Amino acid sequence: MKYNFNNIEAKWQKYWAENGTFKADNSSDKPKYYVLDMFPYPSGAGLHVGHPLGYIASDIYARYKRHKGFNVLHPMGYDSFGLPAEQYAIQTGQHPSITTRTNINRYREQLDKIGFSFDWSREVRTSSPEYYKWTQWIFTELFDSWYNLQTDKAEKIEGLISKFKTSGTAEVSAVCDEDANSFTAEQWNSFTEQEQEKILLQYRLTYLAETEVNWCAALGTVLANDEIVNGVSERGGHPVVRKKMMQWSMRISAYADRLLQGLDRIDWPEPLKEIQRNWIGKSVGAQVRFNVLSDQTKDDDYIEVFTTRPDTIFGVSFMTLAPEHPLVDKITTAAQKQAVHDYVKATAKRSERERMADVKNISGVFTGAYAEHPFTKKPVPIWIGDYVLAGYGTGAVMAVPCGDSRDYDFAKHFGLEIPNIFEGVDISEQAYSSKDNCKIANSDFLNGLDYKQGTTKVIAALEELNQGYGKVNFRLRDAVFSRQRYWGEPFPVYYVNELPKMIDKQHLPIELPEVEKYLPTETGEPPLGNANSWAWDTERNEVVGNDKIDNQSVFPLELNTMPGWAGSSWYFNRYMDPINANEFASEDSLNYWQDVDLYIGGSEHATGHLLYARFWQKFLFDRGRLAVDEFAKKLINQGMILGTSAFVYRLEGENTFVSKNLISDKSVTPIHVDVSFVNTSEELDLEAFKNWRPEFKDAQFILEDGKYVVGREVEKMSKSKYNVVNPDDICENYGADTLRMYEMFLGPLEQAKPWNTAGITGVHGFLKKLWKLYFDDNGIQVTDQDPSAESLKTLHKTIRKVEEDIENFSFNTSVSTFMICVNELSAQKCNSKSILEPLAILISPYAPHIAEELWAGLGYNNSISTAEFPVFNQEHLVESTKTYPISFNGKMRFTLDLPMDLSKEEIEKIVMDHEKTKTQLEGRIPKKVIVVPGKIVNIVG
RNA sequence: GCUCGAGUGGCGGAAUUGGUAGACGCGCUGGAUUCAAAAUCCAGUUCUUUCGGGAGUGUGGGUUCGAUUCCCACCUCGAGUACCA
């Protein structure tokens, strides 16, 4: 019987599907274990070999946990709202839902071929109304909540309203807009409903506000900060400009500190946590007020600065405002007006990208105005400079050139004073920016104090003067939640007198309307502006035609849609109870599954998905909907699989291609060529190449040894580089089990690595060899014979190593272990059932199809998937002798087999009397002999 | 610039707490089988060598009986981040 992988794999995939083998129950006597993959966006290109890497790893883990007696939840779904389907719709007019469905079907087919143990009965799609009903619901819950700093959690907005009613803002400590005003209960009660609503928007966890947003004209939408890389859009690299728009925002800043603290409680990769910490950007310091001294302006103007070094306040020799700072116009003196105006204009013209690229050039202008130092009362010149960012802190800094390198450079450049306030520190060459090992000097009441003492003391003094207070600042901004797109979740929002109203939970979902065109309207409204039927009837509680809008009972609906990260911020909870029509998930299922035990996915989601998902989780937890406030205990980032691109070299100006090693000094253009035209010895299939594109039809070739040899380069796997390798072909030619094991064999999971099929025959050969242990030409050849001690040893050391490897996510090394095991058992001619049966279970997480077939061959008629994992027994590994390495000065020179029960002295005697020892020493007398019984002998001298 | 991570044969990569460096696989070489090929099997494969050995894990130093592993300095590559006050 031959190892016919195609038949075997098709057979078992069908069996699993028909028998619901991997269906997880929401209640069980077994302990729960939740293994999750980051769900994919179903793109038109289908899966390439890079996608399944993480899925294979998590599948091995999930299958292993089933063998270990866990009730395993291992679901899969699709993040199916997104730009590519919409772009395709704009180009072709095909509805994005059709494109999406087609792509999902393709993905599903490809995934099925790899033999994953997903519970497909729990599949979710973020674009299905049954799913986004609950995304909309979470949105309304956020709208109905505020963040109470006294209890440090989100609470229902009714609680805030009743506080306003009884005592105004006096008793309220909340996260709210910076410009929120205080008022008394009487004032609140006298406000119109309209006014009250406006105030409440300043407190709600999702709110509508005029926001400075990142507008990307090319994509026709706003982008979140994490969707912008180096000042251009992450997708497509289009320019992004700042623009004020009425937008929904998420008050994620309320959770900044908890998002930071929570990182310490979860087992996520350190670099990823570091990225989140930087993104949240907590800095502890003080807000300080500098009064402006000016003849022309009123005395009550002041500049607020945020500083992390209030202890250095006596080192202030000037102040710098961002050119965009609102006070610039007001305080600039007549003499400086022109210079300041020119500078502001020049910086406004430069794109954010230019400004960032040009860090070296120091620029700025004096405003002519002065501020008063809060302690010395001396005048401090006020400058503007583009090294100060309008968007961070207060958009102004107190410059301490001796303690900050940017202030130092600025001062040097413009010849400003650099007072030294550090005891015994030389600042003639550079600023001293360390907080440690230094005492403050020339600073009045702060002299002799260190950073910590000085900070405490100066904050107290500032508070006394009413010119400052201790403050914690975060870099994390509230997240813009509106997108001017079609293919996203509609907001369950309608507008009464321009104020947003939520549609009640019982009427959700509000489904996406049909539109003729997927582009913005002629008046510049988002694509939903094209819908004819997009108004809310508050009496019938349904979406009706726009012509019915009377602003009495029928009102216009929101035209924006939600961003890509809305649906992915809570999907892991939906998997726990995916078809519940009454709740986002039942309390029982949420309490049972709790959280994700193992989450595997790419590190590129560090500041997007993974931060927003943690935010929503904490919010839903605060509101009593969830049992835990972190959704994933452990997270692993799988490394990217890179493509190995192939190149041909065309002679400049000709249609002639030169083989790689004949180029020498010829002038050639490298051209990407489809990797499927190249065999393992780098030789190009000339016929395939000629037929590839018309322009190559008549191509000429300069060959070496009758072959055309291509060049190679490792790059990201992408369609445009023609280096995409499709998993389907591998499954067809070698089988899914080979693909699974080979992807693991490539190297450590977290590491990026180039895809190279060269080694795949080794893994495939291993599976054939495994097969031959069980089957020969006459069928199964497993016997009930007692196993040899040797075979038991082989088995048990394999059990130990494989179990250890899986627990450590070191899947590459267990593939080697299996190879060694099968090599040894083959050499031992082992066909004992008591060895081969546990071996089949051991390997089943890695190569499930062949394992099922072997299991059936052993006489079982159920699936191997829940067979008990073999138990390691140390007894089989006990040795009576040890092969000692005999080292001289730490270098192993020969080995010696000695009984294990010898004493140190006996070992030393045998070794020293040995002939080879004498040759090694060449008559020298050893200074020392180290004997570690069971380990090593080292002779020094 | 800063913060991480990594440097081991021709290649992908192994090496539990410091204890036989190069497991396993690819590739390569030779052999068996075959009319031939594929497949399969066996042997060899870090470098060097006067065939006794000797050197060797990016470089230089240190700790140790012993270092790929620990410490210090440097070099190279990769990832992330970037005027955050």
Place of tokens 């009613």: A165
Residue A720's pLDDT band, with cuts at 50, 70 and 90, is confident
Tell which residue, A589, A633, A861, A772, has the closest CA to residue A25: A589
Query: Given a cut of 70, is residue A295 above it in pLDDT?
Result: no
For A463-512, how does the pLDDT look when each residue is reduced to its tens digit (9 = 90+)? Answer: 998 889 998 888 888 888 988 889 999 999 999 988 999 999 999 899 99
CA angle A309, A310, A314 (to 5 degrees): 105
Å: A818 CA to B43 C1' = 23
**pLDDT at residue A351 in the model:** 55
Strand B contacts (CB < 7 A) among A residues 47-86?
none
Strand B contacts (CB < 7 A) among A residues 249-288?
270-271, 274-275, 278, 281, 283, 285
Indicate yes or no: strand B within 7 A of the C-beta of A680. yes
Distance CA A596, CA A270 (A): 18
Alpha helix ranges (H) inside A623-726? 686-692
Indicate yes or no: strand B within 7 A of the C-beta of A941. no
Nucleotide nearest to A756 (CA to C1'): B12
Tell which residue, A252, A250, A246, A251, has the closest CA to residue A560: A246
Distance CA A434, CA A438 (A): 8
Determine if the peptide bond prior to A509 is cis (ω within 30°).
yes
Looking at this protein, which amino acid is placed at residue A9?
E
For A30-88, how does the pLDDT look when each residue is reduced to its tens digit (9 = 90+)? Answer: 999 999 999 999 988 888 888 899 999 999 999 999 999 999 999 999 999 988 888 88
Element (H, E) at A108: helix A96-113
Indicate yes or no: strand B within 7 A of the C-beta of A805. no
Pick from A195-209, A262-276, A762-776, A885-899: least confident: A885-899
Distance CA A689, CA A686 (A): 5
* Residue partners of A98: CB distance under 8 A and separation at least 6: none
For residues A715 and A723, the answer to whether their CB atoms sit within 8 Å is yes
For A519-540, how does the pLDDT look when each residue is reduced to its tens digit (9 = 90+)? Answer: 888 777 888 999 999 999 999 9
Please state, for a pLDDT cut of 70, what percent of chain A lies above it.
96
Distance CA A583, CA A267 (A): 30
Å: A405 CA to B76 C1' = 29
Which residue(s) pair with A472 in the sheet? A284
Residue A922 burial (10 A CB sphere; 0-12, 13-18, 19+): exposed
- For the segment A852-874, the average pLDDT, to the nearest whole number, is 94
Query: Given a cut of 80, is residue A706 above it in pLDDT?
Result: no
And the tokens for A330?
């007001």
Distance CA A883, CA A623 (A): 64
| Residues in binding site of A | 719
Å: A753 CA to B9 C1' = 19
Query: Given a cut of 70, is residue A231 above it in pLDDT?
Result: no
CA distances, A135 to each of A81, A205, A625, A707 (Å): 12, 15, 14, 58
Indicate yes or no: strand B within 7 A of the C-beta of A397. yes
Pick from A108-117, A314-323, A682-691: least confident: A682-691
Nucleotide nearest to A404 (CA to C1'): B85
Tell which residue, A888, A795, A875, A803, has the closest CA to residue A834: A795
Query: Given a cut of 60, is residue A679 above it in pLDDT?
Result: yes
Q: Which residue is nearest to nucleotide B80 (CA to C1')?
A: A275
For residues A121 and A147, the answer to whether their CB atoms sit within 8 Å is no
The counts of H helices and E strands in chain A are 29, 37
Distance CA A498, CA A496 (A): 5
Which residue(s) pair with A228 in the sheet? A233
ipTM: 0.93
Cα torsion A765, A771, A772, A774 to 10°: value is 160
Å: A509 CA to B54 C1' = 78
Most confidently predicted of A239-243, A506-510, A694-698: A506-510
Indicate yes or no: strand B within 7 A of the C-beta of A87. no
Å: A759 CA to B45 C1' = 17
Q: Hey, what domains does chain A have and what are their CATH numbers? A: 282-474 (3.90.740.10), 642-716 (no CATH), 731-862 (1.10.730.10), 879-940 (3.10.20.590)
Indicate yes or no: strand B within 7 A of the C-beta of A426. no
Indicate yes or no: strand B within 7 A of the C-beta of A877. no
* Residue partners of A699: CB distance under 8 A and separation at least 6: A655, A656, A657, A689, A690
And the tokens for A370?
């002065």
Distance CA A940, CA A474 (A): 60
For residues A142 and A502, the answer to whether their CB atoms sit within 8 Å is no
Looking at this protein, which amino acid is placed at residue A313?
I
Strand B contacts (CB < 7 A) among A residues 284-323?
285, 306-309, 322
Which residue(s) pair with A671 in the sheet? A648
CA distances, A273 to each of A227, A281, A565 (Å): 19, 12, 19
Buried b (16+ CB within 10 A) or exposed e, A200-232: bbbbbbbbbeebebbbbeebbbbbbebbbeebb
| Residues in binding site of A for ATP | 719
Distance CA A858, CA A783 (A): 10
**pLDDT at residue A914 in the model:** 81
Indicate yes or no: strand B within 7 A of the C-beta of A751. yes
User: What are φ and ψ of residue A937, in 5° steps?
Assistant: -125, 130
Chain B bases near protein Cβ (<7 Å): 3-5, 11-16, 19-21, 23-28, 39-42, 52-55, 65-67, 78-85
For A625-675, how does the pLDDT look when each residue is reduced to its tens digit (9 = 90+)? Answer: 999 999 999 999 888 888 877 888 888 888 888 887 777 777 788 788 888
For A582-603, how does the pLDDT look when each residue is reduced to its tens digit (9 = 90+)? Answer: 999 999 999 999 999 999 998 8
Pick from A294-303, A591-600, A874-883: least confident: A294-303
Distance CA A277, CA A244 (A): 28
Å: A757 CA to B58 C1' = 29
Indicate yes or no: strand B within 7 A of the C-beta of A890. yes
Indicate yes or no: strand B within 7 A of the C-beta of A753. yes
**pLDDT at residue A353 in the model:** 53
The mean of the pLDDT values for chain A is 88
Distance CA A691, CA A669 (A): 20
Pick from A40-44, A233-237, A386-390, A733-737: least confident: A233-237
For A817-832, how does the pLDDT look when each residue is reduced to its tens digit (9 = 90+)? Answer: 999 999 999 988 888 9
CA angle A431, A434, A440 (to 5 degrees): 80
Strand B contacts (CB < 7 A) among A residues 220-239?
229-230
Å: A402 CA to B73 C1' = 29
- For the segment A289-312, the average pLDDT, to the nearest whole number, is 81
Alpha helix ranges (H) inside A375-469? 405-414, 451-465
For residues A852 and A75, the answer to whether their CB atoms sit within 8 Å is no
Indicate yes or no: strand B within 7 A of the C-beta of A762. yes
Distance CA A736, CA A853 (A): 14
Cα torsion A315, A316, A317, A320 to 10°: value is 150
Residue A713's pLDDT band, with cuts at 50, 70 and 90, is confident
Please state, for a pLDDT cut of 90, what percent of chain A lies above it.
47
CA distances, A282 to each of A225, A278, A285 (Å): 17, 8, 10
Strands (E), A605-675: 635-637, 641-651, 656-658, 668-673
**pLDDT at residue A729 in the model:** 86
Residue A842's pLDDT band, with cuts at 50, 70 and 90, is very high
Instruction: Give the three-class secondary structure for A243.
Output: strand
Indicate yes or no: strand B within 7 A of the C-beta of A768. yes
Residue A350's pLDDT band, with cuts at 50, 70 and 90, is low
Å: A660 CA to B27 C1' = 20
Å: A734 CA to B29 C1' = 27
Tell which residue, A131, A352, A344, A379, has the closest CA to residue A229: A352
Q: Which residue is nearest to nucleotide B2 (CA to C1')?
A: A278
Distance CA A211, CA A921 (A): 82
CA distances, A280 to each of A99, A222, A226 (Å): 37, 21, 12
Which residue(s) pair with A840 in the sheet? none
**pLDDT at residue A355 in the model:** 58
Distance CA A163, CA A149 (A): 14
Query: Given a cut of 90, is residue A777 above it in pLDDT?
Result: no
Tell which residue, A571, A593, A595, A573, has the closest CA to residue A585: A573
Of A137 and A899, the one with more pLDDT: A137
Å: A821 CA to B17 C1' = 26
Which residue(s) pair with A939 in the sheet? A888, A929
Nucleotide nearest to A352 (CA to C1'): B83
**pLDDT at residue A297 in the model:** 54
Place of tokens 């006596």: A314
Query: Given a cut of 70, is residue A229 above it in pLDDT?
Result: no
Indicate yes or no: strand B within 7 A of the C-beta of A929. no
Indicate yes or no: strand B within 7 A of the C-beta of A388. yes
DSSP structure class, residue A498: T
Distance CA A557, CA A490 (A): 9
Q: How far apart are the first and last CA of chain A?
A: 61
Strand B contacts (CB < 7 A) among A residues 356-385?
356, 358-359
For A740-766, how does the pLDDT look when each residue is reduced to its tens digit (9 = 90+)? Answer: 999 999 889 988 888 888 788 999 999
And the tokens for A580?
């519940």
For residues A792 and A836, the answer to whether their CB atoms sit within 8 Å is no
Indicate yes or no: strand B within 7 A of the C-beta of A473. yes
For residues A764 and A732, the answer to whether their CB atoms sit within 8 Å is no
Indicate yes or no: strand B within 7 A of the C-beta of A471. no
Å: A887 CA to B56 C1' = 16
Pick from A258-262, A290-294, A443-447, A585-589: least confident: A290-294
**pLDDT at residue A1 in the model:** 74
Distance CA A64, CA A62 (A): 5
What is the phi-psi region of residue A20: left when phi exceeds 0, alpha when psi lies from -120 to 50, beta otherwise? left
Strand B contacts (CB < 7 A) among A residues 119-148?
none
Å: A694 CA to B69 C1' = 57
Most confidently predicted of A231-235, A258-262, A428-432, A889-893: A258-262
Looking at this protein, which amino acid is placed at residue A745?
F
Alpha carbon A640 to chain centroid distance?
13
For A369-384, how does the pLDDT look when each residue is reduced to its tens digit (9 = 90+)? Answer: 889 899 988 899 999 9
Distance CA A254, CA A137 (A): 20
**pLDDT at residue A809 in the model:** 92
For residues A526 and A559, the answer to whether their CB atoms sit within 8 Å is yes
Distance CA A241, CA A239 (A): 7
Cα torsion A775, A778, A784, A787 to 10°: value is -50
- For the segment A835-856, the average pLDDT, to the nearest whole number, is 95
